[in-house]
């Protein structure tokens, strides 16, 4: 028996939980970060499908989607090519501490939420993207084109 299979069976027997840490990029488009967004969309698709498959066994699956968490604060916000590092927020306003992010994730998880937007930007992005994907895309392009990454073509 493989280790995964043993873990999988134990998780079902315990009626346990999976908790995936994704990103705002997992539920929305992200200019100049196609590979990053693709990996996060894949993660969310996997865990949403796993949730349906594991539900009959009493196993829950939740996805947390943080926006800006203040990790690697000493690292430059931009790469050598001038693009903003994914998750960077250097204005001191839109990021939260890792402890605050963990608290929001655990609070949402304990409440049985299947999706947990973490942070002000994540909550707003989730709402706007659900109400009007076109508006979200326009706002995201304007913000990222202005503040980081390759400017949008004129």
Determine, yes or no, domain membership for 7: no
Q: What is the CATH number of the domain that holds 94?
A: 3.40.50.720
Q: Is residue 28 part of a domain?
A: yes
% of the chain residues with pLDDT over 70: 77
Q: Give domain status of residue 5, yes or no.
A: no
d(CA 54, CA 107): 22
In a domain, 154, yes or no: no
In this predicted structure, what is the pLDDT of residue 152?
40
Output the pTM of the full model: 0.76
Q: How far apart are the first and last CA of the chain?
A: 58
Q: What is the mean pLDDT of the chain?
A: 83
Number of domains in the chain: 1
Residue 141 within a domain: yes
Asked whether residue 2 is assigned to any structural domain, the reply reads no
In a domain, 8, yes or no: no
Q: What is the mean pLDDT of residues 19-38?
A: 90
Structural domain harbouring 25: 15-73+82-147
Residue range 78-111, pLDDT digits in tens: 666 665 555 455 555 567 888 999 999 999 999 9
124 domain-assigned = yes
Confidence of residue 71 (pLDDT cuts 50, 70, 90): confident
């Amino acid at each position: 028996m493989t280790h995964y299979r043993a873990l999988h069976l134990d998780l079902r027997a315990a009626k346990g939980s999976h908790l995936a840490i994704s990103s705002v990029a997992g539920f929305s488009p992200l200019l100049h970060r196609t590979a990053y967004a693709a990996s996060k969309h894949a993660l969310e698709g996997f865990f949403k499908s796993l949730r349906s498959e594991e539900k009959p066994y009493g196993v829950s699956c939740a996805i947390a989607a943080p926006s800006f968490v203040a990790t690697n604060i000493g690292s430059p916000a931009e790469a050598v090519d001038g693009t903003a590092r994914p998750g960077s927020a250097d204005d001191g306003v839109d990021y939260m501490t890792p402890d605050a992010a963990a608290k929001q994730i655990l609070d949402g998880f304990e409440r049985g939420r299947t999706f947990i937007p973490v942070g002000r930007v994540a909550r707003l992005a989730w709402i706007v993207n659900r109400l009007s994907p076109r508006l979200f895309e326009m706002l995201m392009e304007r913000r990222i084109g202005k503040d980081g990454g390759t400017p949008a073509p004129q």
